[in-house]
């Protein structure tokens, strides 16, 4: 017999398709622990009625979550939640749900480690393959970062940062790497905004990006790799500070709950 867990009817906002909203609500229930690993979901009819949607809409959402590795169907038994190790961790919906649920600390470090591994390689290619248009875009992005730093504009700084690294990706001209980053784009934007809130006004981030730009503009692959590594040394420090703030906040919340 499945575990009975109240999810509640869908909220009234109109963003996204109905199927997407059902998918996001079920995923949120799983990520938050309301449906634990190996828990069987309620029967389709019961779940569809609770959510106020048709069985067809529910089935589409369930199939989507199966593709993400979040759910599995056992013939004759029902639909079960998979352990997190089986989830598609690069799926943008999964990444966004985990971060939105306040479980981003492990992802912040993992994403930053993945970025360092990939971007120290691609920046060397960018230095060798960039054209004048790439250089114009990179320089403009650095100038935007400087202005956002001066005005403490978190969202603009994060957007300029994303644009800078996106131009490097384009200059490296490797479609496989570009595909990986397209999957992570939403999660990366969230991480950048969180770290930028902590570091806005610290000019060192602008200095690091300007150093990368100078090396790429000079066509010096080795210098570009070294500059990118220095940038990620700086980023690691920022991410560690954000994680510490997040975990200390969690500890305070837990203490308040148990008091």
CA distance 195 to 154: 9
Tell me the pLDDT tens digit for each residue of 56-65: 999 999 999 9
Distance CA 97, CA 130 (A): 35
pLDDT of 148-170, one tens digit each? 999 999 889 989 998 999 999 99
Ordered by where they begin, the domains of the chain are: 18-86 (1.10.10.10), 102-258 (1.20.120.530)
Tens digit of each residue's pLDDT (9 = 90 or more) over 91-144: 878 877 887 776 666 777 888 898 899 999 999 999 999 999 999 999 999 999
Report how far residue 113's alpha carbon sits from residue 236's, in angstroms, rounded to the nearest whole number.
Answer: 9
- What is residue 79's three-state secondary structure? strand
Beta strand 78-81 with 71-74 is: antiparallel
Write phi, then psi, for 154 (nearest 5 degrees): -60, -50
Residue 45 and residue 35 in contact, taking contact as beta carbons nearer than 8 Å: no
Rg (CA), the chain: 22
What is the residue-wise DSSP string for 135-151? HHHHHHHHHHHHHHHHH
**pTM value?**
0.70
Query: In whole angstroms, what is the distance from residue 72 CA to residue 94 CA?
Result: 15
């Amino acid at each position: 017999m499945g575990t009975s867990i109240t999810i509640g009817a869908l909220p009234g906002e109109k963003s996204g398709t109905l199927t997407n909203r059902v998918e996001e609500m079920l995923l949120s229930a799983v990520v938050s622990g309301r449906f634990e690993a190996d828990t069987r979901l309620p029967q389709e009819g019961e779940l569809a009625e609770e959510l106020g949607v048709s069985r067809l809409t529910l089935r589409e959402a369930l199939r989507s979550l199966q593709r993400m590795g979040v759910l599995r169907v056992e013939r004759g038994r029902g639909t079960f939640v998979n352990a997190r190790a089986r989830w598609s961790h690069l799926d943008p919906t999964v990444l966004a749900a985990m971060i939105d649920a306040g479980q981003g600390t492990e992802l912040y470090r993992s994403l930053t480690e993945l970025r360092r591994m990939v971007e120290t390689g691609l920046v060397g290619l960018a230095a060798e393959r960039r054209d004048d248009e790439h250089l114009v875009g990179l320089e403009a992005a650095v100038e935007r970062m400087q202005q956002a730093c001066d005005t403490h504009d978190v969202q603009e700084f994060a957007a300029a940062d994303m644009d800078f690294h996106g131009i490097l990706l384009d200059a490296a001209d490797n479609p496989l790497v570009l595909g990986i980053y397209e999957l992570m784009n939403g999660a990366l934007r969230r991480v950048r905004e969180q770290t930028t809130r902590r570091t806005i006004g610290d000019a060192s981030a602008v200095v690091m990006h300007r150093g990368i730009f100078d090396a790429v503009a000079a066509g010096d692959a080795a210098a570009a790799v070294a500059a990118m590594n220095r940038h990620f040394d700086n980023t690691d420090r920022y991410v560690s500070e954000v994680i510490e703030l997040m975990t200390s906040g969690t500890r305070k919340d837990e203490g308040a709950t148990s008091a």
